[in-house]
Amino acid sequence: MRFPAEPFRIKVVEPLRRVSREERERLIREAGLNIFAVPADSIYVDLLTDSGTSAMSDRQWAAIMMGDESYAGSRNFYHFEAAVRDIFGYKHVIPTHQGRVAENLLFSTVLKAGDIVPNNIHFDTTRANVQHQGAEALDLVIDEGHDPTSLHPFKGNLDPAKLDALLTVERARVPLVMLTVTNNSGGGQPVSLANARAVHDVCKHHKVPLFFDACRFAENAYFIQQRESGCANKSIREIAQEMFALGDGCTMSAKKDGLVNIGGFLALNDSEWSQRITNLLILIEGFPTYGGLAGRDLEAIAQGLQEVLSEDYLAFRIGQVAHLGERLSDGGVPIVKPVGGHAVYIDAKRFLPGIPQSEFPGQALVVALYLEYGIRAVEVGSLMFAQKDEKTGAMVYPKLELVRLAVPRRVYTTEHMRYVADSVIELYNNREKLRGLRLTYEAPVLRHFTARLEAIAASPAGAAR
Ligand SMILES: *Cc1c(COP(=O)(O)O)cnc(C)c1O
């Protein structure tokens, strides 16, 4: 497959430390085989997340120098507000320091215990913030969205029939509907414009506000331009504007498609909600013209929102991730298809069929990738999601056992990606050497962040030596 080469050249470099295998072996052992506890400067290619890890452009760094740190009415806020309004079109623009604060402000204001918030699939922080209000976070993605082998071009779509059925019975308990573009928890899969329109129509019929979780809106718009009929001649800006015109507001983590290292916002049309949210913002985050950010951060977001709309940038970005997926697939490595916008997901169940989910095959793969190649990936499987059934005491394992290779924006070159692909393929060809793991420590909630594990010794009769 051909894909566009880097549409930028390199002006500033950050040296990477090459660490010996012995040192990596010591570091991962000291980390209790938990990749979150390994020092980042001992990693060669870090694919832990695409959040807050983007490289800023020369223009963004110049924007940083134009910071106006006035407590109120900073000129950077007005630039930021204009950039957000241009793309999203909503009346009130409220800066926050991360996406989850935008979620918290919105849900604290409009939800009450017993409410329901439908979404295609809630992202972790969105789900947690809904549940924090005593409300229920409901996933209504189309059935294909749960099937790792389905090649549906818009696997992030929300099922309008499921939504209509819910609202017909439970309208009183649903203060808003959310739609996540792209659908992060479903593998970074896009939502079509036709689907957003269908969801809008159902919401309008039942008179329920529609909010977008807009973190990867530009990547989503690029997929629409490439895949949806009638959209090939529309610009990314036009597609985004058309999509957001179907909603009443959005939450945003600028750490994704804002191309910055910190920042976010909430934008909405409802003036009464906005006023209540602003009062809460002042209490917990800051004055309405800075949120939790410095003036310079707002200027960098304003610039990042322009740059992320570039088709050259998006063709490279989406192409780089797709290309990594294709290389792995050609090498025989089982991955989730189609490849999403920001990450490639390895199917650890098929990669390591000899290791049962109770022995964390995904984490075993993550540990080996670091130990042998200095690559950091993240497990999205039994370590993250397995839970004890309250009634029976039996462990319930997630359907999917995945390892995510998330690609930071504008950070790694095509050669880095080749190194990753070659390494994963080599590991795949030596997969019979990998062994399962067992937990030696786990926290009561979100255990994957702090868990400690050890390798299970090979049985004398086993193939592993
Ligand atoms: C990252 C993310 C968030 C939360 O944003 P933070 O800036 O990390 O707080 C919410 N929704 C989606 C889809 C995300 O990817």
- Is residue 270 within 8 A of residue 211, CB to CB? The reply is no
pLDDT by residue (tens digit) across 116-169?
A: 999 999 998 999 999 999 999 999 999 999 888 899 999 999 999 999 999 999
Per-residue pLDDT band for 99 (boundaries 50, 70, 90) equals: very high
User: Ligand 1, closest atom to CA 101?
Assistant: 9
Query: Residue 254 CA: which ligand 1 atom is closest?
Result: 7
Specify the pLDDT at position 465. 41
pLDDT tens-digit readout, 185-202: 888 999 999 999 999 999
Q: Which pLDDT band, with edges at 50, 70 and 90, does 459 fall under?
A: low
Q: Which amino acid is at 60?
A: Q
| pLDDT tens track for 285-310 | 999 999 999 999 999 999 999 999 99
Ligand 1 site-directed mutation target among 104, 123, 252, 342, most atoms within 8 Å of CB? 123
- Find the mean pLDDT for residues 249-276: 98
Ligand 1 surroundings by CB, under 6 angstroms:
51, 98-100, 123, 125-126, 180, 184, 213, 215, 253, 255-256, 264
Q: Specify the pLDDT at position 11.
A: 96
* H or E stretch at 377: none
Higher pLDDT, 259 or 399: 259
- Alpha carbon nearest to ligand 1 atom 6, residue: 99
Q: How many angstroms separate the alpha carbon of residue 331 from the centre of ligand 1?
A: 32
Structural contact between residues 182 and 166, judged by C-beta atoms closer than 8 angstroms = no
pLDDT of residue 446: 79
Question: Per-residue b/e over 66-83, b at no fewer than 16 CB within 10 Å?
Answer: ebbeeeeebebbebbbeb
Encode pLDDT of 321-362 as tens digits.
Answer: 999 999 999 999 999 999 999 999 999 999 999 999 999 999
Residue 126, φ and ψ in degrees, nearest 5: -65, -50
Q: Is the pLDDT of residue 440 over 70?
A: yes
Q: Is the dihedral of CA 195, 141, 50, 291 positive or negative?
A: positive
Distance CA 222, CA 239 (A): 8
pLDDT at 24: 98
- Position 37 scores a pLDDT of 96
pLDDT band at 461 (very low <50, low <70, confident <90, very high): low
Ligand 1 atom at minimal distance to the Cα of residue 182:
13
Q: How far is the CA of 253 from the centre of ligand 1 (A)?
A: 5
How many Å lie between the centroid of ligand 1 and the Cα of residue 170? Answer: 27
* 289 CA to centre of ligand 1 in angstroms: 21
Residues of the chain above pLDDT 70, percent: 98
Q: Is the pLDDT of residue 447 over 70?
A: yes
Ligand 1 pocket test, candidate residues 54, 97, 125, 250, most atoms within 8 A of CB: 125
Distant-in-sequence, close-in-space partners of 36: CB < 8 Å, separation ≥ 6: 48, 448, 449, 450
Q: How far is the CA of 251 from the centre of ligand 1 (A)?
A: 9
Q: What is d(CA 29, CA 433) in angstroms, rounded to the nearest whole number?
A: 18
Please report which confidence band the pLDDT of residue 463 belongs to, taking 50, 70 and 90 as the band edges. very low
Q: Chain-wide mean pLDDT for the chain? A: 95
CA–centroid distance, 378 to ligand 1, in Å, is 16
Distance 2 CA to ligand 1 centre (A): 31
**Do the bridges between strand 395-396 and strand 402-406 make them parallel or antiparallel, or are there none, so unpaired?**
unpaired
Nearest-atom number in ligand 1 for the CA of 185 is 13
What is the rounded average pLDDT of the residues 73-83?
A: 98
Which pLDDT score, from 0 to 100, does residue 387 have?
83
pLDDT value at 462 more than 70: no
Phi, psi of 197 (to 5 degrees): -65, -45
Q: What is the pLDDT of residues 377-399, one digit of tens each?
A: 999 999 988 888 888 989 999 88
Say whether the peptide bond before residue 392 is cis (omega within 30 degrees of 0).
Answer: no
**For tokens 């985004």, what's the residue?**
240
Q: If you measure from the C-alpha of residue 99 to the centroid of ligand 1, how many angstroms do you get, rounded to a whole number?
A: 5
